[in-house]
Amino acid sequence: MRRLFYRGILADRVVIEGADAHHLMHVMRARCGQELVVVDDEGSVARMEIVGFSADAVHLRLVERFDADTEPPVHIALAPCLLKGEKMDLVVQKAVELGAMEILPVESANCVVRYDVKKREARAARWQKIADEAAKQCGRSARVIVHSIRDLRAFLQEMQAHTLIFCYENEQQMPLKESLRTREDSRYAILIGPEGGFSLDEAEQVTAAGGVSVTLGPRILRAETAALAALAALQYEKGDLGS
């Protein structure tokens, strides 16, 4: 059954507008009587029936609320530094399936791509669309937010309430597994560098801000591989992957 995220709070009657309404009417050619799974801003989930259409809206009736919490027990923010080409699309899509709650694209010193203001907004909108589609496909019960691109300094200031897992290619001592063993935190952030990795100065900035520098093992992974491997490992150790 098709799933959609309603920007509001579920009620007996709900009106869907904008891109979702257009998709239902003109792409899915939905009909009265058809049912949808609707997730609201608070993560409430319900089966709803299409009861009518207007010029640019679809009218729904609540059929049944149900508990379908598919959100992990830990809050994970994935922070990939900007990658070339479509690699960020892949990271965003897979991060949503793996249970990341938010995605924070970071611009660091060695990022090859540099976006102007317009392009930054366009990229963030593109990745949010990819995240929304992935969330519908995998049955998330909360919308995954892709934030606007920020630089490393701004990112570090925002991460005070998180345990920051800093995946650093030059870390030789602390394995990710060991760094998690004794932790019972509820909010984690995972920082992954760009193709060119982190500068020494950036590594010092991150650890000075409380980042836990960890190795993902003896091989140097591509950034997109490292992002998904670290997220999957953290979800396996502390979340609901495999449970």
Residues ≥6 apart with Cβ < 8 Å to 102: 77, 78, 144, 145, 146, 147
**Is residue 113 a contact residue for ligand SAM (CB under 6 A)?**
no
Structure tokens of 237?
């150790």
**Is residue 95 a contact residue for ligand SAM (CB under 6 A)?**
no
180 phi, psi to nearest 5 deg:
-95, -20
Report, in this order, helix, strand and coil percent for the chain, each rounded to 5: 35, 25, 40
**Is residue 5 a contact residue for ligand SAM (CB under 6 A)?**
no
**C-alpha span between 37 and 15 (Å, rounded):** 14
Cβ nearer to ligand SAM, comparing 229 with 241: 229
In the list 74, 216, 228, 234, the residue contacting ligand SAM (rule: CB under 6 A) is 216
Residue with tokens 């570090």: 156
Cβ 212 to ligand SAM shortest distance, Å: 12
In the list 79, 131, 226, 231, the residue contacting ligand SAM (rule: CB under 6 A) is 226
In the list 68, 138, 145, 221, the residue contacting ligand SAM (rule: CB under 6 A) is 221
Among residues 108, 94, 91, the alpha carbon closest in space to that of 166 is found at 108
**Is residue 139 a contact residue for ligand SAM (CB under 6 A)?**
no
Is the distance from CB of 183 to CB of 139 less than 8 angstroms? no
Span interacting with ligand SAM, options 22-30, 127-135, 161-169, 201-209, rule CB under 6 A: 161-169
* Sites for ligand SAM among residues 171-210 (CB under 6 A): 171, 192-193, 195-198
| Rg over CA atoms, the chain | 20
In sequence order, the β-bridge partners of residue 165 are: 190, 212
- For ligand SAM (CB under 6 A), the number of binding residues is 19
Q: Which residue is nearest to ligand SAM (CB)?
A: 193
Residues that bind ligand SAM (CB under 6 A): 167-169, 171, 192-193, 195-198, 215-217, 219-223, 226
